[in-house]
A = this chain, B = another copy of it.
Amino acid sequence: MPKDLSENANWILSHLSTADARLLQPRLARVDLPLRKPLEASGRPIEHVYFPESGIVSVVANGGDKRSIEVGLIGREGMTGLAVVMGTDRSSHHSYVQCAGSALRMTANHLREAMQESPPLHQRFLLYGHAFLMQTGYTAVANGRSKIEERLARWILMAHDRIDGDALALTHEFLATMLGVRRPGVTVALNLLEGAGVIRAARGIITIVDRKGLEKLSNGAYGVPEAEFKRLFG
């Protein structure tokens, strides 16, 4: 369906060998990613894997009652369905669309066939899997060691990396769920960041004004896995 993968907005798809591109292209279909659409459900077989062209997907670990919390973000730099890449059909994480956009997708079975046919392709997906594992590890660090405003700064920066422009459409409630904190806690932290002049906040919209400043305010919570990603993918 999609024309030329080498010019696709998704970073994994855009740097494939011509052979691998030919392998995937006929199996890929472009779909919308409407807000809150679930892409994977904990414990259920994964039907499709998605390569976002725009928008952001949240990966959430379901810790029972009200204990779920985000463990990773996926945008146009990556793909969903890592469990399939790792050789199983499901994971104990949920994935759903956090910021609307679009993606190319294929069935999990087609992905399995393609990986079997092309080890270099599998290798490329695995390399992204490594990057995602690093991201998850540093989410654990941030959750254990950083204050709300620092974690918020980290989240906003990670989201900023994955969108066009500087505006994020998000409510405090949503962010509170992602970070696993109280909603008023997010309100206060956002006001603090706005007071520092690094973002502007309107109803339902956060605008990044000063990226460097945000990084400073994240106090080290942002950066390590991003550097690792750059090392791996250039």
B-binding residues in A (CB < 8 A): 59, 61-65, 67-69, 71-72, 82-83, 85-88, 91-93, 119, 123, 126-127, 129-130, 132-134, 136-146, 179-180, 220-221, 224-225, 227-228, 232
Q: A223 to nearest B CB, angstroms?
A: 9
Contacts of A67 in B (CB 8 A): 141, 145-146, 220
Q: Contacts A220-B63, A220-B65, A224-B92 hold; do A82 and B145 have CB atoms under 8 A apart?
A: no
A67 to B144, CA, bound (A): 9
CB pairs A–B below 8 angstroms (21 shown): A59-B137, A63-B138, A63-B224, A65-B220, A67-B141, A67-B146, A67-B220, A69-B140, A69-B144, A71-B140, A82-B130, A87-B127, A87-B130, A91-B133, A92-B137, A92-B225, A129-B133, A132-B133, A141-B143, A143-B144, A144-B180
Q: Which residue, A68, A85, A119, A139, has most C-beta atoms of chain B within 10 A?
A: A139
A127-B86 in contact given A71-B140, A224-B92 (Cβ < 8 Å): yes
Q: Would you call B88 and A232 a contact (CB within 8 A)? A: yes
- CB pair A137–B136 under 8 Å, yes or no, is yes
Copy tally for this chain in the complex stands at 2
Chain B residues positioned under 8 Å from A139 (CB to CB) = 140
